[in-house]
Amino acid sequence: SIASADMDLNQLEAFLTAQTKKQGGITSDQAAVIAKFWKNHRTHIHESLINQSRWDNVLKNMNWRVDLKSQSRHIDQINTPVAIVEMELGKSGQ
């Protein structure tokens, strides 16, 4: 719960306090150890979760433009915008 919510220190303190008050919950010593661990490793844990949830491919580059038709057989098709998007995908870490 702590990692998936990426809790800040205030949220962490509230969460651990609630867990210590729960019947069958954790002790205050356990809460202190969890809080210290989270403070020291929060960034690494968060990055690890992001990397595990990411697909193999990542977006490397993106180009886009909007074109307008200036000539057409039918007058109602002139000045109709068309968006063109080009996305370059690559493997993560390459």
Give the tens place of pLDDT for each residue, 53-88: 777 778 889 999 998 877 777 777 777 888 999 999
Between 25 and 73, name the one with better pLDDT. 25
Domain co-membership, 63 together with 43: no
Domain co-membership, 21 together with 48: yes
Domain co-membership, 63 together with 33: no
**Verdict on whether the full-model pTM lies above 0.75:** no
Which parts of the chain fold into alpha helices (H)? Answer: 2-5, 9-21, 28-53
pLDDT tens, position by position, 42-59: 999 988 888 787 777 788
Query: If residue 60 lies in a helix (H) or strand (E), which one and from where to where?
Result: strand 57-68
**Quick check: is 3 in a domain?**
no
Number of domains in the chain: 2
The residue whose two tokens read 């909007």 is 66
- Given this model, what pLDDT does residue 49 score? 86
Domain that holds residue 26: 9-53
- Given this model, what pLDDT does residue 21 score? 92
**Quick check: is 65 in a domain?**
yes
**Quick check: is 2 in a domain?**
no
φ, ψ at 67 (rounded to 5°): -105, 150
